[in-house]
Amino acid sequence: MIKSVTAGAVLALIMASGALAPLIMASGALAQTAAHAPAHPPAHATQAAEAPPPPPPAPASAPPSEWRTVPPENLMVIETTKGRILVELAPEVAPLHVERMRLLARNGFFDNLTWHRVIDLFMAQTGDPLGTGDGQSAYPDLKAEFTFRRGPDLPFAPVAAPAGAVLGFVRSLPIQTQPDSYMATTADHMVHGWGVYCPGVAGMARDDNPDSANSQFFLMRQPYPSLDKRYTVWGTVVSGLDVVRNLKTGAGGSGLVTDPDRMTTVRIAADLPEADRPSVQVLDTASPRFRAMVDMTRASRGADFSVCDITLPVQVSGGSVVAAAPAGTAPAGASGPR
């Protein structure tokens, strides 16, 4: 059975939230609806994308002790026709989805797949072996991981505390969570948290069934907060956001791309020979330098300050370009409509 929704259901979703339609996997019904959609994203998406000027730059360098090295097992290396994208995986936030992304990358499933759906002020979507929005892997669909449980042992760096909530980072991932004080009131001594859809955040596409994510994923080009807690977050771009924003965009409201850019190879860094493996260091969110950067950004932005205004400095070294798979090679685990 093809993953699809009826035209009436899609229309209802679009009316309820302009954010849903671009991430639902395409079908005949969706394409028909999208053809009548406005050529521009909903107004709230444009407002979110246009608002913030760039925050004050962080100091060019920091002492070695203030840098955190991304473990190779948690680093996805995406080679594209426009350049390299490096994504830090977040297994504590979405373990099932991270496991799936590692599995598909190790099977070569993503090699040569297109960025079939790209919307300028929104996101870039890929992971479909058919390149139409109807395809997926042969593996079972995944149970949604829209939220996660955060305990005292998970490293967390708060940057803002609106009433009843805290915003900050779990490593490189921006999140919103309940305050630590709530841990004393829960049976597991943990609190709810969820990824915040800032630029560079990686999410999973699905249809109207919350438990229908499979292989299609998207990388955010701009902030889009109405996606929070509605699509599983599994990582964040630590290098190559400029590449994501340079991918060819689609025309009209559907975002479907003609002659799209491609992912040439996708690998987990731990699987690459050490000499060819990129090394990524991110400013440690537990460091004084990070706290100083947050304070400067908050002072600059004032009442408009958002966790999405924080861009973590990154150092990348080493790592040759991963060779592309032979043209026409079928990705392992590929599946068409079902």
Q: Which residues of the chain have pLDDT under 50?
A: 1-22, 24, 26-51, 327-331, 336-338
* Per-residue tokens: 163: 């009433």
pLDDT given at position 27 = 37
How buried is 54 (Cβ within 10 angstroms: 0-12 exposed, 13-18 middle, 19+ buried)?
exposed
pLDDT given at position 63 = 73
DSSP code per residue over 179-194? -GGGGGGSTTS-EEEE
Q: What is the pTM of this model?
A: 0.81
The residue assigned the tokens 């870039």 is 124
Question: What's the rounded Cα separation, in Å, for the pair 36 and 38?
Answer: 7
Q: Where are the beta strands (DSSP E) in 127-262?
A: 136-137, 148-150, 157-160, 166-170, 173-177, 191-195, 201-204, 217-220, 233-239
Question: What's the rounded Cα separation, in Å, for the pair 253 and 37?
Answer: 5
pLDDT given at position 3 = 41
pLDDT given at position 319 = 80
pLDDT given at position 321 = 74
pLDDT in tens, 130-180: 999 999 999 999 999 999 999 999 999 999 999 999 999 999 999 999 999
Sheet with 148-150, side-by-side order of all strands: 148-150, 191-195, 173-177, 166-170, 157-160
- CA torsion 223-226-231-232 (nearest 10°) is 60
